[in-house]
Amino acid sequence: MTSTPSLDLGAGATPALIELVGVEKVFRTGQIDYRALRGVDLSIADGDMVAVVGPSGSGKSTILNMITGIDRPTIGTVEFDGERLDQLSEEQLAVWRGANVGIIFQFFQLLPTLSALENAVLPLDFLRRGSKRERFDRARHNLELVGLGDKVDHLPAELSGGEQQRVAIARSMAADPRLIVGDEPTGNLDTVTAGEMFELLERLNAEGKTILFVTHDRELAAKARRVIEVRDGLVVDDARPR
């Protein structure tokens, strides 16, 4: 792999959507401080597909949490399209996240008593965007896009793992976010199903979505446009395998 400086966009490059500058994160447990991030500078262009890899405890998920506003830096700045996320209140962050970020979890995080359709509509209900009929129409459309148009009324327990992850992807698309992030989005799936999930992410990326995902799967990461390696709270490699 050929490393490239994380902040050098180059002439004519797509403008950055996400900027982390000098980001440090210290977690305190009792009297013990743990430095999860030790000065991360990172720029991600609008429309890119980025995989974040590294050993357990390296800081991968902490970076993801900074970018999605789930966590705040101890030192440094986090910007999304020029807006300082680290300066927003928790309420402002919740509204911003609902409108701009779709999140896909390893274990799906579907509500077991709700149908696939009801799970897929939840972000729109939270944002109160459009009428109830419009929200359900959009959720149904997203389920059709991920190949579950015939299972909108099924409960999560009535779906396979791959189908549940498809519902999670449909849910992440609900508010038409600019950024879709995945925390080990294929980690709980078999190889074939994981490949199908990645094809869905590639399709969303081709439609203009910025995709960012954390993974332990190096083969999966190599399919991304860009691979960022994190170790001991630092970005140690930034490469474009394809």
Q: What are the tens digits of pLDDT across the range 24-69? A: 999 988 889 999 999 999 999 999 999 999 999 999 999 999 999 9
As given in the structure block, the two tokens for residue 87 are 């300066």
Is 70 exceeded by the pLDDT of residue 1? no
Q: What mean pLDDT is predicted for residues 191-209?
A: 90
In this prediction, residue 182 carries a pLDDT of 92
Spatial distance between the Cα atoms of 24 and 8, rounded to a whole number of angstroms: 20
pLDDT digits (tens, 9 = 90+) for 89-114: 999 999 999 999 999 887 788 999 99
E strand or H helix at 49: strand 49-53
Residue with tokens 């447990």: 29
State residue 217's pLDDT score: 87
The larger pLDDT score, comparing residue 213 to residue 130, is at: 213
Q: Which residue's entry shows tokens 């939270």?
A: 126
Residue 125 corresponds to which tokens in the numbers above?
């209900």
Asked if residue 200 lies in contact with residue 169, where contact means CB atoms within 8 angstroms, the answer is: yes
**What band does 4 get if pLDDT is binned at 50, 70 and 90?**
very low
Question: 3: which strand partners?
Answer: 239
Output the DSSP codes for 185-239.
Answer: TTTTS-HHHHHHHHHHHHHHHHTT-EEEEE-S-HHHHTTSSEEEEEETTEEEEEE
- The whole-angstrom separation of Cα 148 and Cα 117 is 10
Q: Taking the complete model, does pTM exceed 0.85, yes or no?
A: yes
Partners of 101 in the beta sheet? 179
- 3-class DSSP assignment, residue 101: strand
Under the banding of pLDDT at 50, 70 and 90, the label for residue 6 is very low
Helix (H) or strand (E) run with residue 235 in it: strand 234-239
Instruction: In whole angstroms, give the CA distance from residue 105 to residue 137.
Output: 24
Pairing mode of beta strands 179-183, 210-214 = parallel
Report residue 2 as tokens.
């050929």
Burial of 25 (0-12, 13-18, 19+ CB in 10 A): buried
The domain locations on the chain are: 46-69+89-239
Fold held by 46-69+89-239:
Rossmann fold (3.40.50)
Which helix H or strand E contains 76, and what residues bound it? strand 75-80
Q: What is the pLDDT of residue 9?
A: 43
